[in-house]
Amino acid sequence: MRIHHNWHPDNLPVQDYSMDRAVIDWMQEYMEPCLDIVEFGSGTGTPRLTSAGHKVVSIEHDPKWLQEESILVPVENGWYSHDHLQIILQKNCDLIIVDGTPTKGSRDLIFEWYKLPEVESWFQKAVVIIDDTDSDNNGKPVLEKFVALGWKIIFNDNPRWTVIQWG
């Protein structure tokens, strides 16, 4: 396992809604260091990714949860505004984290955006971590739709989050 010297779980705050620390453990073991990450849904877990050595752009609609890594993007029709997301499609992205929007049952509206050809090809170049895959109202329907579209599950030892990859 790779060790990032500037990161230790005991130094970082615990918050109820942030991603499991095991996600970062998994990334350190199986992914390259210094990833370009795009995260949907900011929170106290976001700076943990930066502390682990990654370059993070985090999409957030609620000013209350903005982090240094965040871009404020309004939610329109249940998902982040497609127009505002256009800018991130120009960026290199190794890893996408789907952990927003927080509205119950709206997360799978990501597919209204994903079905745009330039968005689909941008996704397919990255590894995708879907959080809350144990929840019928959050990650589970998102995971099911990605799998139905041909994405492969590459890690699901923990039911709370699942890692998928195209092809």
Q: Which is nearer to ligand SAM, 104 or 152 (CB)?
A: 104
Binding of ligand SAM at residue 60 (CB under 6 A)? yes
Chain-centroid distance of CA 92 in Å reads 15
Nearer to ligand SAM, 18 or 162 (CB): 18
Q: What angle do CA 14, 40, 135 make, to 5 degrees?
A: 70
Nearest to 166 by CA among 151, 144, 145: 151
Three-class secondary structure of residue 159 per DSSP? coil
Q: Can you read off the two tokens belonging to residue 46?
A: 């976001």
**Quick one: 17 or 30, whose CB is closer to ligand SAM?**
17
Integer Cα distance of 122 and 112 in angstroms? 15
Q: Which stretch binds ligand SAM (CB under 6 A): 76-84, 86-94, 99-107, 156-164?
A: 99-107
Contact track, ligand SAM, 17-46, x by CB under 6 A: xxx-------------------x-xxxxxx
Contact 27, 35 (CB under 8 A): yes
Is 79 or 146 the residue whose CB approaches ligand SAM more closely? 79
| Residues making contact with ligand SAM (CB under 6 A) | 15-19, 39, 41-46, 60, 62, 65, 99-100, 102
